[in-house]
Amino acid sequence: MKGRQVEWKLLFLTGVYAMAGALALYLGSAGTPDRKVVFACISVIAAYFLVSVYWHIAGYRGDCFLLPLTALLSTTGLVFLFRLDPAYGVRQFFWLLIGLGVLLLTSRLLLDFRFLSDYKYIYALAGLIVLILPVFFGHEQGGAKSWLDIGILHFQPSEFVKILVVLFLASYLSENRAVLTVGTRNLGGMSLPGPQEWGPLLAMWGISLLLLVFQKDLGAALIYFSTFLTMVYVATSRISYVLFGFALFIAGAAASFYMFDHVRARVEIWMNPWPTIETTGYQIIQSLFAINSGGVLGSGLGLGYPGYIPAVHTDLIFSAICEELGLAGGAGIIILFMIFVYRGIRIALKTSDDFAALAASGLTSLLGIQAFIIIAGVTKLLPLTGITLPYISYGGSSLVANFILLGLLLNISHEEESNI
């Protein structure tokens, strides 16, 4: 009861924050103000409260901070999408309601999540099949051929497969943790596991990366690779595996640079976008201009010029936030993600089961790495990749997948709190 009360207080403050943004947008609209943003924010906050109340009635004991954190991030994205393009705001509103419904189902149907470790090869195979489909039947969007269109549904399979990869790795690493840590044979003074231990692990990881490269989905490939290395280190505490992984990454990146034109173009734009300011470099340069013009406190909600940034509602929404809310707003978003990661790591450390701990650390690193990669991309710290900022950018596939991730994290937290 105490945890849910804390959650309700934080959700109330989130509601005040969201309504302040919605009203500022509504009252500052030129011409006839659009009431949809006010209605959408009230409805979404009410939906978050309903989920929390249901959990209280059901005796659910998941972490009381993750839902308010998600509400803060998602309502920020909702307000900004209405500001950028009301059509995308309306769509995001419906996707948010669907995501909350999926969260509720995940917290109930997968409450006993441990059974997932018994079927790792089944859903690993299913995930690979789903990744293969866009290579042959997908269509290209934003430079990546990673989308499937089945008539009424248009989605990105890699958003969901990454969760399956984390669960597969958590199950496999928990079963082979001792052998992978200690090793079974000596090679050049280093103790290493045999092929029967690392073979399935590298095969699953390598095939996933190869398929993503063929789809030109470089952002997802980088997320998969980084999450894989993080989980291997968490499971074994062997820095040698991480160093070997980085060596593979450098070799793979160099090969991709010379083999694939789209990789070479992304790197060249990252290194020096100015010669192509009117073509391929236009997007990242406009992003930098927007962030710089925001200053410390920003130009104010609705007073910036984010329309000059291509794909601002998806990949580069962080640039629009920095322009209109300034350094303070951008830093606030980063801090929210840092708190989310902290809560996820705390859940992983508190659980006594290897599979649950590895799953929690993998899911947390998955979200944290995705947020870091896209924020680093729009600020030119890394090459820009076409991925979404979790819970903020427009995108139904990403939003629903991240609500499933949230539900799994909360289930792990619930089990640990119930055992205390």
Q: State the total domains in the chain.
A: 2
Residue 375 DSSP class: H
Q: Which of 1-5, 83-87, 140-144, 155-159 has the highest mean pLDDT?
A: 83-87
- Check residue 193 and give its pLDDT: 60
User: Is the pLDDT reported for residue 420 higher than 80?
Assistant: no
Please identify which residue in the block is written with the tokens 């619930």.
414
Residues near 326 by beta carbon (within 8 Å), at least 6 away in sequence: 294, 295, 296, 297, 298, 299
Torsion, Cα 44 50 51 56, to 10 degrees, reads: 150
- Check residue 332 and give its pLDDT: 96
Chain-centroid distance of CA 144 in Å reads 17
Q: Are residues 409 and 335 in the same domain?
A: yes
Q: Which DSSP string do the residues of 212-241 spell out, in sequence order?
A: HHHTT-HHHHHHHHHHHHHHHHHHH--HHH
Coil/strand/helix, residue 419: coil
Q: Are residues 151 and 239 in the same domain?
A: yes
Segments forming the whole domain that contains residue 136: 116-259
Q: Are residues 105 and 122 in the same domain?
A: no
Q: Are residues 242 and 365 in the same domain?
A: no
Are 323 and 298 within 8 A, CB to CB?
A: yes
Strand order in the sheet with 139-141: 139-141, 144-149, 154-155
- Check residue 191 and give its pLDDT: 58
Structure tokens at 127: 């995930």
Please identify which residue in the block is written with the tokens 């694939």.
260
Share of the chain above pLDDT 70, in %: 84
Read off the pLDDT of residues 175-195 as tens digits, 9 standing for 90 and up.
Answer: 877 777 765 555 555 555 655
pTM: 0.92
Residue 116 DSSP class: G
CA distance 341 to 332: 14
- Check residue 168 and give its pLDDT: 87
Q: Are residues 272 and 357 in the same domain?
A: yes
Please identify which residue in the block is written with the tokens 């990146």.
253
Question: How many residues can be counted in the chain?
Answer: 420
Are 45 and 18 within 8 A, CB to CB?
A: yes
Within 10 angstroms of residue 164's Cβ, the number of other Cβ atoms is 21
User: Is the pLDDT reported for residue 6 higher than 90?
Assistant: yes
Read off the pLDDT of residues 201-255 as tens digits, 9 standing for 90 and up.
Answer: 666 666 666 665 665 667 777 888 888 889 988 988 878 778 877 887 787 778 7
Q: Which DSSP string do the residues of 63-74 spell out, in sequence order?
A: -TTHHHHHHHHH
Are 256 and 266 within 8 A, CB to CB?
A: no
Question: Which residue, of 259, 279, 305, is where some domain finishes?
Answer: 259
- Check residue 236 and give its pLDDT: 84
φ, ψ dihedrals at 266, nearest 5° = -60, -45
Chain-centroid distance of CA 273 in Å reads 26
Please identify which residue in the block is written with the tokens 């006993």.
112
CA distance 273 to 229: 30
Are 290 and 323 within 8 A, CB to CB?
A: yes
Provide the pairing of β-strand 144-149 with 190-192: unpaired
Question: Which residue, of 259, 282, 297, is where some domain finishes?
Answer: 259
Q: Are residues 309 and 369 in the same domain?
A: yes
Q: Which helix (H) or strand (E) holds 291?
A: helix 282-294
Q: Are residues 122 and 98 in the same domain?
A: no
Q: Are residues 125 and 69 in the same domain?
A: no
- Check residue 135 and give its pLDDT: 64
Q: Are residues 135 and 254 in the same domain?
A: yes
Burial class (CB in 10 A: 0-12, 13-18, 19+), 108: middle
Three-state SS annotation for 132-167: HHHHHHCEEECCEEEEEECCCCEECCHHHHHHHHHH
Are 169 and 177 within 8 A, CB to CB?
A: no
Q: Are residues 247 and 277 in the same domain?
A: no
What's the sign of the alpha-carbon dihedral 244, 372, 345, 404? negative
User: Is the pLDDT reported for residue 308 higher than 80?
Assistant: yes
Q: Are residues 154 and 197 in the same domain?
A: yes
- Check residue 331 and give its pLDDT: 96
Q: Averaged over 153-167, what is the pLDDT?
A: 82
pLDDT band at 148 (very low <50, low <70, confident <90, very high): low
Q: Are residues 36 and 96 in the same domain?
A: yes
Question: Which residue, of 259, 287, 316, is where some domain finishes?
Answer: 259
CA distance 415 to 314: 35
Angle at 20 between CA 14 and CA 26, to 5 degrees: 135
- Check residue 183 and give its pLDDT: 59
Are 151 and 145 within 8 A, CB to CB?
A: no
User: Is the pLDDT reported for residue 289 higher than 70?
Assistant: yes
pLDDT band at 404 (very low <50, low <70, confident <90, very high): very high
pLDDT band at 124 (very low <50, low <70, confident <90, very high): confident
- Check residue 53 and give its pLDDT: 95
- Check residue 50 and give its pLDDT: 97
